[in-house]
Amino acid sequence: MDPAVSVRPWSATPGRLSEGPRWSEEHAKLLWVDVLGCMFHRASVAPNGTMRDLSSTTLDRHVGAVAPAAGGGYVLAAGAGFLGLSDSGEIYELAQPEAGRSDVRMNDGACDALGRFWAGTMAYDQSPGAGTLYRLELDGTCTTVLKGLTISNGIGWSPDGTTMYLADSGTGDVDAFDFDLQSGEVADRRTLVHFDAPGVVPDGLTTDEAGGIWIALWGGGAVQQYAPDGRLLATIPLPVERPTSCAFGGPECLALFVTTARDGLDEDALARQRDAGRVLRVDGIGVRGTPCETYRGEIMAH
């Protein structure tokens, strides 16, 4: 690791399965979730880079991803579908594409440049092919984009918006697609990176403004940067085994925030990884990211 790069714990209280960091420029806050803790967190960055002003919301179901909404509040991928959360705390049921099912749940997600919210599912038993990628449209309807995924995970777009990236933790693949922003259609699916080391899978991902793809390696104890052609550019070792996702944030989007997990680790592993479950902050990378896109639809019930 470059000696200029530093890694430090950022959040105070570890989550069971902290996930889905997103930097909201409008709120000047980092947003993230604790999937199994059924929590949504947001916090701002103090001038010295530490966390401050933490606020949290507890939900009645597992929550996989969050994005800010343009009109205020937030949209969440949780349980069997999508929820709206107002700034005052009211929760609204939006599209529920997996309604009535208890064997699957929503997982990671993000908004595209038009403000549509994409999120995928996984089976609790991680059954192959049981996951689906959905798109929550601006009118509140839900479109099925891809079927046959196993653990639909990190999703992101190239800076010019012409390529979409999607990780499937079940297959070990990070795929690239041609992306049409106006229609939301994806085409020409190809595998950008495949991970086959035992126990190491791609989890959440983000992109930097130069087009690099940053992938959290669950079980690999690192975040890696890849070029758009799939070449490995950099590896940042972390003090925890199970990073779950990453996002650039802070006032100039120069810091990389990495969510991590402690769920499933035994006492010995937790003793070695005291920061497991916390959000980590990585500085000195030398590249800049961009804030997350906002959901531009209505978060109230339709």
Q: Which residues are catalytic, by number?
A: 203
CA distance 108 to 154: 6
Q: Please, are residues 122 and 36 in contact by the beta-carbon 8 Å criterion?
A: no
Q: Is residue 150 classed as helix, strand or coil in its secondary structure?
A: coil
Q: What is the largest CA-CA distance in the chain?
A: 52
**What token pair was written down for 180?**
């049409």
CA distance 139 to 92: 15
Q: Which residues contact 295 (CB under 8 A, 6 or more apart)?
A: 67, 68, 69, 70, 74, 75, 111, 115, 116, 117, 136
Q: How far is CA 87 from CA 3, 91, 152, in A?
A: 41, 10, 28
Beta-strand pair 18-24/201-207 = unpaired
Q: Which amino acid is at 58?
A: T
Helix or strand holding residue 213 (H, E) = strand 213-218
**What token pair was written down for 51?**
């966390």
Residue in 291, 83, 54 with CA at minimum distance from that of residue 74 = 83
CA distance 300 to 302: 6
Please calculate the CA angle 173-133-188 and round it to the nearest 5 degrees: 60
Residue in 238, 203, 264 with CA at minimum distance from that of residue 21 = 203
Q: Please, are residues 257 and 21 in contact by the beta-carbon 8 Å criterion?
A: yes
β-bridge partners, 249: 255
